[in-house]
Chain A
Amino acid sequence: MRKTFRVAAATGILASLGGVASLQAASASTTPHRQHASASGGMKITYAGFSSMNGLPQIIKGLNKKYAGKYVFQATAYPYANYAALLSSAISGGNPPDIFGASWTPSVYYAREGLELPIGPFVKAAGINTAAFPSSLWSSHNLVKGVHYSIPLDAFGTALFYNKALFKKAGLNPNKPPATGAQMIADAKAMKKAGVKYPVIMGVDKNTQDFLYPSLVYQFGGKMGKPTNCASLFDSPAGTKAANWEKSLIYTYHVAPAGPSPNEDLNDFGKGIVGMVMLPAINQGSLLKSLGSKLGVAPLPKIGINTDDFVGQQYLWVFKTTTSTTPAGAKGVAIFLRAIYNQELPSIAKDNGIIPAYAPALSAVKSMPFFAQQDQMVKTGRVNPAIPNWGTVTGVPLYNNLEEVLLNKVSTSAGLAQAKNQTNQLTQTLPGCTQ
């Protein structure tokens, strides 16, 4: 009995290992084994991403009705916090979605690993006009090996949020937000003089800095990284000026408190006790709810030599699957993309206050509050360099070290040098990056 059991257990383990190994083999070859036809007889087209999905269920329902028997469309929302883990699991399991939506640089990673299909044919089949994308989000700097692999879906810049009531209290014009760095400091000083305890709160951790710091680097004429060899470039004079300007708000002008805890800029501004914060514009919806008419939104002031800002974004790309690589599957993907660009984008904008990165959809939401400001931020926006997973991979060492700089624990030059060194150690392991 005991022996029989042992043999059975060993066989089970071996069988399971065999199963896992075959799954891994499938993922390695990037041709996952998936049923073409679903139970209802149609070819399954899957979409996943961290979009709001607010408008998607209706679109999916409509598509499934229209293409009954031919296609079955499915959409899954991945939480932003762990979408990479979920997507990795799906790819490892040999079952990635046909279409995926996330930030721009992950698409560079998957493209360089050979897991994506060029987006051009799909865009053409879907009837999407690429001239209708803003040039900040669709240009030659979005090419991977000379080809576009992803298309922009929506974007949000780095905004200056200000409290109109506290502006009034300080005798400032609530409809005239600061347009330059010097003006911002002057306004903050005026608020401090008028008894506003926190004229500015500036987050020193990744949650704030992964938008603010690149924006300032771009404003001072610098670059974050070099796509050809993935080297980091933020320790340049522009990078140093950017970090020093941020430090000056805390330690020179004393208009921002030292050492705010993570997310405190957003939380405290929402409570109405802070004059100004510099945060991703994606927060507009929640701040509008908590502050109502007191909320002021403006593009980031011109702190450096230009008005550029970093834009957060969502791009869509098509994974190389057994569905997407067939003519019928490719057609299904194109049908889905067309529906997303024509129907979902306006609902994303309405529900989340995010600017659609497609002119026809953009014109449908012109009545949204702060539309003009948001549009301006996207137009002057810059996306990350075409380095695989730049935002995620470099985020940890860069913003850990920058936090130390902004907490005044290390000098700007030492912090940025350490950040550069550590970032380069990480980027060296990325596909297509040799320094």
Chain B
Amino acid sequence: MATEQQLVVQTTGAIAAEGLAERKKVRLRRHHELQNGTAYLFLTPYLAVFVLFVVVPLVFGIYVSLHNWSETTGNGGFIWFRNYTTLILGRGYYGSEFWTSMWNTIFFVIISVPLLWLIPTALAYGVYRAPLKPLWRFLFFYPSVFSATAFGSAWSLLLATNGGSVNNLFGLNIQWLTGMPQAWISIDLATIWATMGFSFIIMYAAITQVPRPTLEAAEMDGAGAYERFRLIILPLLRRASVVVVVLNTIASFNLFAQDQIMTNGGPGTATTTISMTIYQQAFDSFNAGGATAAAFLLAIVLGVIAFFQFRISRKAV
């Protein structure tokens, strides 16, 4: 049986331990708060820019899209979702152009995105196995440094119907930029040539992360280069592939400059993209409300596609 003195000591000890734990907790909380504060301090410059140039325009864009808004005369009144319904129902010139250009863009995305994954992946594996790696890396990445205006102009000159080098060299008379489907093939070729560099670098970096012992073991088990690629490397490239596919999907939906330079959206409206239509609506017709609504609809389409791409990839990995 504990004496009174023992009880006092025990109680005092318990209180002291409790106090110590409490002090420790407070110190830990302060430490976390300080850490959080430091984190916020570092994040603040970015967040300020993000809020100013992304959040504010986004919120303001939603506001504009719900109004009859012109850049030159400002707010022409709240019209609820009329800008959206006009586009979705294909009413008027820009309503019908919205869908024409949307389908054109989707067609381009369907063609270009798989190729912008397939070609860089194949090239990355080839370079991974090849000698003179730095040289190949440089050569395949090099076109990425050109602006769309520069490579679009160069490809226009190469593919011109009458004075173009390609037709003259091979004695052809193909309307590369004014015939269909050649116009899309030409834009795809130019885009793939110029933009695959980034995808190539991502896929190459991912291939170098594949554990060498696994590949060596497979090789010892008799797996050839193709089997090793298909059964080991490719499954391990899924995350990088998702990044490449999502980024290329977004970039392809935003196709503008090379298309404008090479075909000017033609022949007729056959290669007019959604970005071109949005630009025309905003700056030729000064219909900022309609153009902003079209941009948000495009963003929704992109968001849905990206969501499913990530979901599918998560299930697969």
Contacts and interface: CB of A to CB of B under 8 A. Distances in A.
Nearest to B179: A259
B299 interface: no
A201 interface: yes
B156 A263 contact: yes
Nearest to B174: A259
B161 A259 contact: yes
A422 to B, nearest CB: 5
Contact of B72 (A9, A82, A113, A400): A113
B198 to A, nearest CB: 26
A257 B72 contact: no
Contact of B285 (A27, A201, A206, A426): A426
B163 interface: yes
A41 B262 CA distance: 49
B303 to A, nearest CB: 21
B91 to A, nearest CB: 9
A132 interface: no
A259 B175 contact: yes
Contacts of B286: 88, 109, 389
A25 B75 CA distance: 8
B160 A264 contact: yes
A19 B173 CA distance: 57
Interface string A75-101: 000000010110011011000000000
Contacts of A273: 163
B159 interface: yes
A131 interface: no
A393 interface: yes
Interface string B264-292: 11111100100000011011111100000
Chain A at the B interface: SS class: helix
A109 B285 CA distance: 10
A339 interface: no
Interface stretch (A165-173, A184-192, A324-332, A401-409): A401-409
Contacts of B269: 400
A342 interface: no
Interface string B61-101: 00000000001111100000000000000001100000000
Interface in B29-62: 33, 36-37, 40, 47-48, 51-52, 55-56, 59-60
A321 B121 CA distance: 57
A235 to B, nearest CB: 16
A402 B56 CA distance: 42
B52 A262 contact: no
A422 B95 CA distance: 11
B93 A422 contact: yes
A391 B266 CA distance: 18
A429 interface: yes
A91 B37 contact: no
A20 interface: yes
A187 B15 CA distance: 112
A82 B60 contact: no
Nearest to B47: A9
Contact of B74 (A25, A259, A407): A25
B161 A113 contact: no
B51 A24 contact: no
B156 A262 contact: yes
A264 B268 contact: no
Contacts of A88: 71-72, 282-283, 286
B163 A113 contact: no
B157 to A, nearest CB: 7
Given A85-B283, A89-B71, A268 B59 contact: no
Nearest to A92: B71
A1 B36 contact: yes
Interface string A314-334: 000000000000000000000
Contacts of A2: 36
Contacts of B72: 27, 88, 91-92, 109-110, 113, 115
18 contacts: A1-B36, A1-B40, A9-B51, A17-B59, A27-B74, A92-B74, A109-B72, A198-B162, A201-B162, A205-B178, A259-B179, A261-B177, A262-B262, A264-B162, A396-B280, A403-B267, A404-B267, A422-B93
Interface of A: 1-2, 5, 9, 12-13, 16-17, 20, 24-25, 27-28, 82, 84-85, 88-89, 91-92, 109-110, 113, 115, 197-198, 201, 204-207, 257-264, 267-268, 271, 273, 389, 392-393, 395-397, 400-401, 403-404, 407, 409, 422, 425-426, 429
Instruction: Identify the 10 closest CB pairs spanning chains A and B, nearest first.
Output: A28-B74, A259-B175, A88-B71, A261-B177, A425-B93, A259-B178, A268-B163, A404-B268, A85-B283, A16-B56
Interface of B: 33, 36-37, 40, 47-48, 51-52, 55-56, 59-60, 71-75, 92-93, 156-157, 159-164, 173, 175-179, 262-269, 272, 279-280, 282-287
Given A88-B286, A92-B74, A261-B161, 10 more contacts: A1-B33, A17-B56, A85-B282, A205-B178, A261-B176, A261-B177, A262-B262, A396-B280, A407-B178, A426-B285
